[in-house]
A and B are shown apart, each in its own frame.
Chain A
Amino acid sequence: MNDELRYLLARTVQGKMNRRNFLGRAAAVGFTAAAANTMLASGLKAQTPQKGGVLKIGMQGGGSTDSLDPALAANQVTFQLLKLFGDPLVELDPKGGPVQMRLAEAVESTPDAKQWTFKIRKGVKFHNGKDLTPDDVLATLKRHSDENSKSGALGVMKGIESMKVDGDNVVVTLTEANADLPYLMADYHLVIEPNGGMDDPASGIGTGAYKVTVNEPGVRHVFEKFDEYWDESQGHFDGVEILVINDNTARTSALQSGQIHVANRIDPKVAGLMGRAPNLEVKNVSGKGHYVFIMHCNTAPFDNNDLRLALKYAINRQEMVDKVLQGYGTIGNDFPINASYPLFDDSIEQRSYDPDKAAFHYKKSGHDGSPIVMRTSDVAFSGALDASALFQQTAQASGIPLEIKREPGDGYWSDVWNVQPFCASYWGGRPVQDQMYSTAYLSSADWNDTRFDNPEFDKLLVEAKGELDTAKRKEMYSQMAYMVRDEGGLILPMFNDFICAITDDVQGWEEDPNQDLMNGLLAHKCWFA
């Protein structure tokens, strides 16, 4: 089949072109109507999941230091491993709707949103042959909420007052109302392990669609299909192999030479070129992750809101999206929320590059004209050095003396980020607005990396959490967005896309803004044509 016909077929199957046109075009390139009809039939068949095959994924973001302990997962590869071998209680919806049920069959709350009941699914088996019980769920949640645990989910478990098993249910009681609790339970660390992983946290045994057969951290992770997986609609491959390929060029070469079917984290600079290759498809999804420049609101000279505003007006957002992300992203508006969050207010006015306003606010701030030092590093985000240089230039145009100090990538997250008053950084998204704001903008938050301290904001945040009326809640979040945007220390030029590339025999792709590779569920939902 030639490339043109393949393209036409794909469009017809997706419903972007009708059958008659397809047959006409096929005839034009020399196919008989009968052959074209057969082709169309097999093309349509490719839309229903087929079983079999071993999916190979080349991934950036793993190392020989990786562990299978869900509590310690912190990079792309460990995130993906957890998704493969384990299941959470609930999963985020790709379209931003209510959470989808996984190991929980139903979730209910008391009207005050303080007590939540998770009904645990029956007939689910662990890879070691044991049945899933509510006790396993309780033990898992306890392990991650233990003050002595090293869990990355410790933060989301903080508001829990008590937990207990009640028949088939696990009941969670909160210290204060939280309408978002189900979203928090979708945290990727919270995969259910036998006895909560209390006995052997890094055993790699879960209830997931694929079970671990080879675990060589930093090299490869091999999985085979778990025959007794409870959800028959997912997990179509016989096996999955994750190859850790951290080098960008090596990863794209492996995809081009047919050694892998999927590569994550495609460099925006080459994404356009890769999309032109005949057997590859580049998939980009705008996510919740964003690249930022952060100022400490309590440290001179950034304790002056006019200076902060001057810097916010002095950054050219569109240019950054075009040049740093090569168009694979969307512009930001100086608050950490975008349209992929539930209850997003899209009427908030977009801030754009304005050298005159920047100069006006800079003058009004009364800054003495000494260089304003901004720290940056290539680990802050991909393209951070370029972005910093662009920022410096546009700031210069308004007479703001920005000085770039390049820091070593080693130790950046312990010595610069959240320590120095002005630096480049990035944030991954959180499932809901409340969690994003509570993590980084609440005055008492550990990672309040802009030292934002606004009592009114803190009060609204707590109120919104317990507000079950969505219209009122949306209004509250809108007010909070304005506060961060106009008074905060956050300069948010862009939201980055997740970009991955797949070979065209991988079918069933769907957009999921929550995380890389369809929120880690590519191997669950896709299949080979």
Chain B
Amino acid sequence: MITSIIGHPVVRLVAHRIAMGLLLLFAASLLIFVGTQILPGDVAQSILGQSATPQALANLRAELGLNEPAVSRYLSWLLGALHGDLGTALTNGQDIADAMGRRLGNTLFLAGCAAIIAVPLALTLGLVSVRYQGRWPDKLISAVTLASVSVPEFLLGYIVMFIMAVRLRAFPSVSTVYDSMSLLERLNAIALPVTVLVLVVLGHMMRMTRAAILNVMQSAYIETAELKGMRPFRIIWRHALPNAIAPVVNVVMLNLAYLVVGVVVVEVVFVYPGMGQYLVDHVAKRDVPVVQACGLVFAAVYIGLNMIADLVSILANPRLRHPK
């Protein structure tokens, strides 16, 4: 029994895929470390700013251990990271795991809220445009989503801010959230960035859903279903969507990953204390341990979500699920 489970091609594929993911993460850690080493500029100078004296700079450099060889620094960093110890920030001495944990929580909260709205909305709109392909609902949906994708995020942010915060005063323009806020207050605070993020990712997912389903709609079995006399929407839902799920999941996961790691512009515009802003601040100050930790978390999120997408497409494939 156990051997048959292990020997099952799906299990082997999944195990293979997970192993690849871990290997990729390891490679990413190496890249991150090398990348942070070749950044131009000097940590000490960046921390103390333009007005630092050479003496103060030399003192800080020695204190930060910047004079040790890179290989030994990489190994001790990797070992620490494996134990969950990401070190302390060079600039303000805060514990990185602690500070980043809070930031990551904020980012996931924002991304989660945006995803809860955007994913079902994109799928529904995709199905609707397939149903009314070439007619006005399809064209309207395409036009609106393409327009919102084409406008740069910061501009979209400013437009939303101008209308909703400055003119109507419906929602706050500053989305700062903190521990003592209730859930409702938090949701109110992030209303505007969520709106912008939904607009940004909606078009991509909706277009992909539409294209994937349309592709399937050419198949012979769809024609059979039509000849059976099934209603168009039911054909799309029951027969086309399950077969188009792999590419759709892929693009959904890419967009979710984007929501976690790529929203720095939206964070800056709405002053949201998320990971992106945290990373950028520390890059600017050459706070290498924090940059490395953020890079590692981002890489893990990206690799993890893509792995899930792969697994879903493997599992969604009946030929792999039921081998002869």
Contact = CB atoms under 8 A, between A and B. Distances in A.
Nearest to B285: A65
Interface string B98-125: 0100010000000000000000000000
Interface stretch (A67-75, A110-118, A509-517): A67-75
Contact of A65 (B52, B55, B91): B91
Interface string B258-279: 0000000000111101000110
A58 B284 CA distance: 21
Contacts of B93: 67, 202
A453 B215 CA distance: 76
B310 interface: no
Contacts of A245: 174, 271
A417 B52 CA distance: 13
A410 B36 CA distance: 13
Contacts of B221: none
A150 B59 contact: yes
A149 B59 CA distance: 7
Interface in A203-219: 214, 216-219
Nearest to B162: A253
A214 B52 CA distance: 28
B180 to A, nearest CB: 9
A438 to B, nearest CB: 13
A150 B166 contact: no
Contacts of B283: 410
Nearest to B278: A64
A214 B178 contact: yes
Contacts of A446: 53-54
A202 B284 CA distance: 21
B287 A65 contact: yes
Interface stretch (B9-17, B37-45, B226-234, B246-254): B37-45
B49 A75 contact: yes
Nearest to A244: B271
Interface residues of B, number: 49
Interface in B44-96: 45-56, 59-60, 89, 91-94
Interface residues of A, number: 47
Nearest to B89: A65
Contact of A253 (B53, B59, B165): B165
Contacts of A254: 173-174, 271
A279 B167 CA distance: 14
B49 A413 contact: yes
A74 B92 contact: no
B91 A414 contact: no
B51 A149 contact: no
A417 B53 CA distance: 14
A249 B178 contact: no
Nearest to B99: A64
A257 B176 contact: no
Contacts of B26: none
A62 to B, nearest CB: 9
A39 interface: no
Interface string A246-286: 11011001101111100000000000000000000000000
Contact of B55 (A64, A75, A147, A253): A147
Given A254-B173, A257-B169, A446-B54, A415 B40 contact: yes
Interface in A59-93: 63-67, 72, 74-75
A152 interface: yes
Nearest to A256: B166
Contacts of B268: 246-247, 250
A236 to B, nearest CB: 24
A202 B60 contact: no
B302 interface: no
Across the A-B interface, the 9 shortest Cβ-Cβ residue pairs: A411-B41, A74-B49, A65-B91, A63-B281, A67-B92, A411-B40, A414-B45, A219-B273, A64-B281
28 contacts: A63-B284, A65-B285, A67-B93, A74-B49, A150-B52, A152-B51, A154-B55, A154-B56, A216-B178, A218-B273, A218-B278, A218-B281, A219-B178, A245-B271, A249-B158, A250-B173, A250-B174, A250-B269, A250-B270, A253-B162, A257-B166, A259-B172, A259-B173, A408-B40, A410-B40, A415-B40, A415-B41, A417-B50
Interface of B: 39-42, 45-56, 59-60, 89, 91-94, 99, 103, 158, 161-162, 165-166, 169, 172-174, 176, 178, 268-271, 273, 277-278, 281-285, 287
